Amino acid sequence: MEQNNNRRRGFRGGKGKPRSAPFSGAANEGRRAPARDPLPTGPFADMGIDARINANIAAMGLNKPTPIQSQAIPSVVEGRDVLGLAQTGTGKTAAFGLPMLTRLIKFGKKPDPKTCRALILAPTRELATQIATNIDAYAEGTPIRSYRVVGGASINVQTERLSRGVDVLIATPGRLIDLIERRAVDLSQTTYLVLDEADQMLDIGFIHALRKIARILPRDRQTLLFSATMPKLMSELADTYLTDPIKVAVNPPGQAAKKIDQGVHFVNQGDKATLLAEYLSKHPGELAMVFGRTKHGCEKLSKLLEKWGFAVAAIHGNKSQGQRERALQAFRDGETQVLVATDVAARGLDIPQVAHVYNYDLPNVPENYVHRIGRTGRAGRDGNAIAFCAPAEVGELRAIERAMKSSIRVVGGEAPTGPIPSGQPSRGRGKPANTGGNKRPTRRPSRKPQGSRAKS
């Protein structure tokens, strides 16, 4: 009962008033006090981050807060709800993870069975995995324990692990609903909630799951919602989950990182595979991500590149969780240099060594272009992004340029002539990529304008 009273006092103050930290001060009277550490120093310490966590991030090379971290962390430490608008790769995980762990580390006792004190929701398995990896690194050497639950993995194993309770639960909405229906997880003690990449959760149809989860969570909680864009449904989501939030915004939606050198190469659809192989051959040993539109197209392309001698792996919705994790690990370790993926890998993959991103098929949603190319140019490094544009994709290209409010320089080929309907996508969306023939290319495709669309 004392715990519930403390949570009510700490997390939902009056409208417009900052809420005090729920895991410290009078709210913890009578609990086991954690051992005192030397006073931390540095910008993160100045914002109130715990000494042990501060030491961990310093060892990781995180010494200077990014703009989203500088703006969000003080408000989170104060106990305010936060609505953050920022692209992937801006440091959002640390922005919500560091103050969250700082609070949890002061709690002083283990969580009850089946409960979690903090819940982080992510749209994809890959993003959930990336968040879990970072949270574990931040919390190393502390009593905090996190656990990730996603589809494609054994739900019985997840149920058994949750029976002991966890401090931080990282989950995709679909799998969390499955566990709730099995009564394997109890959210009644969840006092800290994060919705990461919320706009993508809406894009892939999780709105009903999010509404159901919202009804189960206690009112007395602190909620952080991060999104790269603000579609109409986002306002409903924000109203449902947030109370008097502080709004922080960095890297306005639609803008790509300045360290990414972008280009577009106009090419006939049937010549894309040959052109891709030539680009990849120019940069041996460098990691490259290739984005396609469909699962079938990505699988077909990866097998063709493998036949041509490239070390390649593929990630898409038809792969099991184990296959996806093994593919990612091999890519991180450099065992494969090329990763072919659908948009499931467009967010959340933080692999600084990725030097090149190739948009083999232009995305249907213009904003996804920025998320895709954001897989390169990370951790202060330069990156390169080339978009392959077939005649039927010029509409998608123009939509991307309008969303970014800038044009992409032409690095090869010539734009097809003829009018493109303003504000309308090109025909042929959703069709599998044409990966051309099975013969390894030996010369660059012609740069002459293509007069007709190749069959796909």
Q: Per residue, what are the HEC states of 66-129? A: CHHHHHHHHHHHHCCCEEEECCCCCCHHHHHHHHHHHHHCCCCCCCCCCEEEEEEECCCHHHHH
- Closest among 159, 161, 196 to 181, alpha carbons compared: 159
C-alpha count within 13 angstroms, C-beta hemisphere, residue 9:
14
The predicted pLDDT at position 253 comes to 55
Domain ranges of the chain: 2-249, 260-412
Residue 435's pLDDT band, with cuts at 50, 70 and 90, is very low
Instruction: Count Cβ atoms within 10 A of the Cβ of residue 321 and give its class: 0-12 exposed, 13-18 middle, 19 or more buried.
Output: middle
CB-CB contact of 417 with 442 (8 Å)? no
Measured in degrees and rounded to the nearest 5, phi and psi for residue 228 equal -90, -25
What CATH number belongs to 260-412? 3.40.50.300
Q: Rounded mean pLDDT of 269-279?
A: 96
Instruction: Inform me whether the pLDDT recorded for 398 exceeds 90.
Output: yes
**Dihedral (C-alpha) 122, 125, 126, 131: value to the nearest 10 degrees?**
40
Instruction: Inform me whether the pLDDT recorded for 386 exceeds 60.
Output: yes
The predicted pLDDT at position 233 comes to 74
The predicted pLDDT at position 23 comes to 36
Residues 34-57 pLDDT 10s: 444 455 568 999 999 999 999 999
The predicted pLDDT at position 426 comes to 44
Q: Rounded mean pLDDT of 414-433?
A: 53
Q: Is 62 helix (H, G, I), strand (E, B) or coil?
A: coil
Instruction: Inform me whether the pLDDT recorded for 329 exceeds 60.
Output: yes
Instruction: Inform me whether the pLDDT recorded for 18 exceeds 80.
Output: no
Angle, helix 321-332 to helix 125-138, in steps of 10 degrees: 60
Residue 204's pLDDT band, with cuts at 50, 70 and 90, is confident
The predicted pLDDT at position 85 comes to 85
Instruction: Inform me whether the pLDDT recorded for 31 exceeds 70.
Output: no
Q: What is the Rg, in whole angstroms, of the alpha carbon atoms belonging to the chain?
A: 23
> Strand (E) positions, 172-258?
192-195, 222-227, 246-249
> Is 2-249 CATH 3.40.50.300?
yes
Q: Is 231 helix (H, G, I), strand (E, B) or coil?
A: coil
Distance CA(339)–CA(291), nearest Å, equals 8
The predicted pLDDT at position 341 comes to 92
Q: What is the mean pLDDT of the chain?
A: 81
Handedness of CA 228, 128, 156, 153 (dihedral sign): positive
Distance CA(274)–CA(259), nearest Å, equals 27
- Closest among 418, 332, 372 to 88, alpha carbons compared: 372
Instruction: Count Cβ atoms within 10 A of the Cβ of residue 424 and give its class: 0-12 exposed, 13-18 middle, 19 or more buried.
Output: exposed
Question: Are domains 2-249 and 260-412 of this chain identical in fold?
Answer: yes
Cα of first residue to Cα of last residue in the chain, in angstroms, is: 64
CB-CB contact of 420 with 297 (8 Å)? no
The predicted pLDDT at position 256 comes to 61
The predicted pLDDT at position 379 comes to 65
The predicted pLDDT at position 236 comes to 79
Distance CA(239)–CA(355), nearest Å, equals 39
Q: What percent of the chain has pLDDT over 90?
A: 51
Q: Which of the residue ranges 21-30, 129-138, 302-311, 327-336 would you say has the lowest mean pLDDT?
A: 21-30
Name the token pair of 213.
């989860």
The predicted pLDDT at position 442 comes to 47
Residues 217-251 pLDDT 10s: 998 999 999 987 777 777 878 888 899 999 998 76
Distance CA(99)–CA(159), nearest Å, equals 28
Residues 137-196 pLDDT 10s: 999 999 999 999 998 889 999 999 999 999 999 999 999 999 999 999 999 999 999 999
Instruction: Count Cβ atoms within 10 A of the Cβ of residue 442 and give its class: 0-12 exposed, 13-18 middle, 19 or more buried.
Output: exposed
Q: Which of the residue ranges 60-64, 92-96, 315-319, 425-429 would you say has the lowest mean pLDDT?
A: 425-429
